[in-house]
A and B are shown apart, each in its own frame.
Chain A
């Protein structure tokens, strides 16, 4: 494949004047074709005929004799499990500090899909892209099959014996033992660690986070004497100001924050108010894309922005001001201060900085605004980020000095994801005993003496306490796939205790949580109920702790520290950020995550340097040009430029989480590791560099983007938006209602039709997508991939525009161009407004695709579905060409069992993730969103089996179910009780619109206009246009 059509498709050689191309330019037939591969070096006509004859004979023989297929039943069938019927188990996703209460769908004992657990009041049935993708990591073929000593496989008994011996030796001579982990949410695991420490008193537990929030903990210690991260109650907030905190994407607990935030943003017939969201930041984050007002600053100004905002609010509300800080000019800062002060008591300021001094000022500001007790709750702290940067830093010093003589790594890969990883890598081989619990020989584990792999979370018992008083349980949904053992069991074994962690966990819950429960006859009843629910939340519904008193003495020193550290520079500054999909890189070997386009840049399979258009022009950089970035003389990384509207001028944004060298085949060669560019400032991790050396390098690397046009170019038939002010006056604000001129005057475009339409007597499946609550996170996209067996195509194919995602989230920037000036409209504003628009098959009632299919492979159902029949499709692609929404995908290749696409569909283990109810499409057919017809069919069958009508909202598509903000509502529009009918009843004459209404294809999907909480009218006036 590498050397065939691809090369000629684009004609790059011609452009480059390749010597190879010049040589062959005049020969009519190129020798180097696939025939060589097929028939050897010297293809002849006879050989060809022979091959063809043999091929035909083989094909006809194969066709005559159907292969013998086996049917292998259970030997001893579990009582309540039936083949082909899904079982759901409540469990808990934890990865680093990320948390979600989940339901695991299993088929014949193998997990195939993750859903959110609606019983949890934290994740509330929502998921993130990583939660959805986590099931694929279970079937990662690059994982270790059992414990290892160096390169050699050993058995567990040997590993235990040797490690216990060495632990005893180290402990005997008083050598330090260090257990280095990421944030551990599990209280029982911490108890296990405590037991281990009791056995080996020289042991200490060190937690660190790759993207740390330790500064907040320190600041709360200084401000309130509580070393915690408080709960943030976005649902209570009227004005939300975020300074560099991507709280919907990556900051602390995006999944917990997304739903309450979205609820403040929803408007409707009975709710004409929404929160106002200001975002000040360097890179264009997903959260910034959702803001009503957005300003940019350079990393060197972060502290100044916070201080300036504080001073402005203090001036209004009468607090002591911070002196000595340099002035800073950031758009909308005054306005934000005014709104904050005006909505005192219903304001919330969050900041992504890891500098405790900055966070102290944020605390002072929130305190001034009366947020404590209303929008911030110090009484129920969050446990998502427990990393202690200083302890971690000290550990690396210990490792280097030889003080640490034994070290255990669990859920931690500091060689890769710590700025001092290289130092640790050098020190590790010298440490007497090093053990990693990693599931693969990754960057840190490969340097350890032993790897005792811990299984995936879906194979484990466990629990979690993401927030004080909110507990959640993990139970295995599959037996151990490889010879792995839980971290907890290993520690218990080595501590000389019974290693049955399930029993340990039960006892732990019996002792600690059962007393908090009421209404259970016995512990067993409580335990069964908890396993069933997945969560136990004694603190649910508790009122926020009343206002804490801010330690006023802390403000002045913080102010002066800020004044000292933050000074404006004229350099190009570097800001590292965590990407919404890949995150910190722990799950980098997950092809679904790699192929998920970044919400804002729409790029996948790479990290890149985001620069503003202005900076790019000044430096003479273009998109895809490689630039080299280095900090403090450390090794430079070369990444391609991506011109990003909304990026602060004179800054470069690079994502962490890429450049994994030892994660496995999917992650190999994807992006560059940016962690070494981070630094430790005053003991705290700093993700910015004000003195970065950024210069052009030679060469280009094409970035795989799924969307390269930036603006909607004034096509108001596609994207309809209005300001809240306008919407309050007119519920049709921002709506575009196309008219058609007729002899009897203008009529609605939908009044004139050639078609007779289809009856939908029984069900009419439809969807409403609220553009106001869609935050662009991509959970739906990965959910869809998982449910519908969507193939991963890889970087090269994405560059060729051949991605297979059935669902995409279109991201549109606003433009400063005048209406009609299409050249100017194509260019996004420097700091644009952003709209996310999930786009999937619209299931048109007058579907243009259906009329052009020559073989009736795409047809209409009586339930409003646009059906796609793969086995009938002959691949003309007429339908894709005729689709106004461009949602049909063509299988250019056979993506399974194909070494050119070496992802999960190329090995038996990876194929275990396949949903058995959905056909795996082969080469040469079109596919597209089916509205999860398999779920519709299953739902109907369940109703029929129970001899009843379908319940309202009984059937959910994968995307609607995955959505953390309920932006997608799916249901039967013929059932007046369903949510979708209720939404449409109130919105049909208001915000609900169809994309491209004037072509009268009558989609089953309606969108609700995007409403921004802005004061002024938008530039483009709401006019009703007419078409001839």
Chain B
């Protein structure tokens, strides 16, 4: 009996140890897998976004009009019939007194109203007497292209929707890949817990089976000569086991494996020190990029005005918020916070999400303006984020990797002409950032 119970407990302990090792290695695997998955997801996410050219349709004017519309008009107007703040603009050319009237109206609507223009006053009154911003800088051509865009956007609506759907799909895939890869998200924890539960169940079943079997063996043993067999089996098992334990080779293999696994964990841990990937702090105002950049498709440039100009993309000043929120959703408690800030003359203290160390110099204009890199390449699908989180690792390896892979945007940029010519003389390979000194230390450290 004693033997048996010892045997059993030995078995169980072995089992549990096995399970432990299994869990450990599984975790490791998953962990490693996570890193890989994330990198590939980032690459996948970056690739198409960067490579996708602007859909060419309808000629240059419509394109230009789209840009102008998104930057200037989209905050208050839709291209459809939908009323946002001002009227939906579908068919605006047909229903207004004429294109010349529209030019005047867009540049300075208040003067038209003041002059008592009949249609103008009617529209003004219809839409709650909200003053439309003046756009004195728009030329006739600009306005014409905006109108062209509105017309074209109204007509092939179906195609546009289709395109959007595709984009959505692609985005969805990217997102799910990323979630599957799992930044340390809830899902990941859930999967782990589920695995553990399953394993515990398996363990329990195994134990039950073992107990039943040994009971069965015992019964047969008492009835006949099976007892010898049992004893010898137990003996054999024990012997084999102690042999295994006493075998120096196996012992040292186990010890070394353990040391290596621990060392790897420590090294991995050390490398992740200071990396805040997935950092998504709660902001003082619950601003949603998903709503503004995603649903309303407000151009990033509209708020982040410095992104094409300087090092900092700039977090918008409250006066930019007020361009729209002077009229829209004034009563929302979150927007009230902006009002309070303005009233108290106290700037809003946002929490910085993307923190580069001081020793690294990064310039947005270089990447966005000159390099024509999409915001999403580094920031992830910001238009789907309710709360902004740091999607990329922002490590030097990540920077360098991109500099190695990315082609220089030399198109129509005379600065690069000499470099392109020199590079073309040497090789037929495309000109990568790394080829023009993009890996040199003092490009980023000074």
Contacts and interface: CB of A to CB of B under 8 A. Distances in A.
Interface of A: 63-64, 66, 68-77, 82-85, 761-762, 859, 861-863, 865, 867-872, 917-920, 930, 933-934, 937, 940-941, 943-945, 947-950
Interface stretch (B251-259, B288-296, B308-316, B328-336): B308-316
Contacts of B355: 66, 69
A579 to B, nearest CB: 33
Interface stretch (B40-48, B198-206, B409-417): B409-417
A938 to B, nearest CB: 9
Nearest to A945: B369
A565 to B, nearest CB: 59
7 contacts: A64-B273, A66-B355, A71-B349, A72-B350, A74-B317, A871-B357, A872-B441
B437 interface: yes
B316 A73 contact: yes
A762 B418 contact: yes
Nearest to B361: A917
B435 to A, nearest CB: 10
Interface stretch (B77-85, B92-100, B209-217, B338-346): B338-346
A919 B445 CA distance: 8
Contacts of B279: 66
B161 interface: no
Nearest to A865: B442
Nearest to B346: A75
B397 interface: no
B349 to A, nearest CB: 5
Nearest to A108: B312
Contacts of B441: 859, 861, 867-869, 872
Contacts of B366: 941, 944
Nearest to A938: B363
Contact of A85 (B273, B310, B359, B443): B310
B345 to A, nearest CB: 7
B351 A68 contact: yes
Given A69-B352, A861-B440, A937-B443, A871 B359 contact: yes
B165 interface: no
Contact of A947 (B315, B342, B348, B412): B412
A861 B442 contact: yes
A82 B314 CA distance: 8
A920 B312 CA distance: 19
Chain B contact-residue range equals: 35 or more
B310 A859 contact: no
Contacts of A870: 359, 445
B422 A761 contact: yes
A125 B15 CA distance: 83
A62 to B, nearest CB: 10
Nearest to B413: A947
B442 A944 contact: no
A1010 B354 CA distance: 53
Contacts of B312: 82-84
Q: Which 6 A-B pairs have the closest CB atoms?
A: A84-B311, A77-B317, A867-B442, A74-B317, A73-B315, A869-B441
Given A64-B273, A71-B351, A950-B415, A83 B342 contact: no
A408 B249 CA distance: 95
Interface of B: 273-274, 276, 279, 281, 305-306, 308-312, 314-320, 341-342, 345-352, 355, 357-359, 361, 363, 365-366, 369-370, 412-419, 422, 436-437, 440-443, 445-446
A83 B347 contact: no
Nearest to A77: B317
B213 to A, nearest CB: 49
A72 B276 contact: no
B358 A919 contact: yes
Secondary structure dominating the interface of B: loop
A944 B415 CA distance: 6
Nearest to A946: B415
B359 A919 contact: yes
A83 B350 contact: no
Contacts of B319: 75-77
B317 A73 contact: yes
Nearest to B416: A944
A933 B437 CA distance: 14
Nearest to A950: B415
Nearest to B409: A944
Contact of B281 (A68, A72, A84, A867): A68
Nearest to A948: B414
Nearest to B284: A70
A919 B446 contact: yes
B442 A73 contact: no
A930 B437 contact: no
Nearest to A932: B446
Given A70-B349, A73-B315, A74-B347, A949 B274 contact: no
Of B345, B418, B442, which is in contact with the most chain A CB atoms at under 10 Å from its CB?
Answer: B442
A82 B305 CA distance: 8
Contacts of B305: 77, 82
Contacts of B416: 944
Contacts of A71: 315, 349-352
B274 A63 contact: yes
Contacts of B417: 949
A871 B445 contact: yes
A917 B414 CA distance: 26
A445 to B, nearest CB: 34
Given A867-B440, A945-B370, 20 more contacts: A68-B281, A71-B349, A73-B318, A74-B347, A75-B346, A75-B347, A82-B309, A83-B312, A84-B312, A762-B418, A859-B441, A867-B441, A869-B442, A870-B445, A917-B361, A920-B358, A937-B363, A941-B363, A941-B365, A944-B366
Nearest to B322: A76
Contacts of A919: 358-359, 445-446
B306 A85 contact: yes
Contacts of A77: 305, 314, 317, 319-320
Nearest to B270: A63
A859 B440 contact: yes
Contacts of B273: 63-64
A71 B285 CA distance: 13
A75 B315 CA distance: 10
A422 to B, nearest CB: 50
B415 A73 contact: no
A70 B317 contact: no
Nearest to A83: B312
Nearest to B344: A75
A83 B281 contact: no
Contacts of A859: 440-441
A75 B317 CA distance: 5
B350 A70 contact: yes
A944 B441 CA distance: 20
Contacts of B316: 73
B253 to A, nearest CB: 31
A940 B366 CA distance: 10
A174 B357 CA distance: 67
A930 B442 contact: yes
A934 B305 CA distance: 23
A256 B299 CA distance: 52
A150 B371 CA distance: 61
A1019 B442 CA distance: 46
A888 to B, nearest CB: 15
A917 B445 CA distance: 10
A653 to B, nearest CB: 42
B267 to A, nearest CB: 15
Contacts of B369: 944-945
A83 B314 contact: yes
Contacts of A84: 306, 310-312
Nearest to A942: B365
A342 to B, nearest CB: 53
A82 B419 contact: no
Contacts of A917: 311, 361, 446
Of B312, B341, B350, which is in contact with the most chain A CB atoms at under 10 Å from its CB?
Answer: B312
A72 B273 CA distance: 26
A83 B352 contact: no
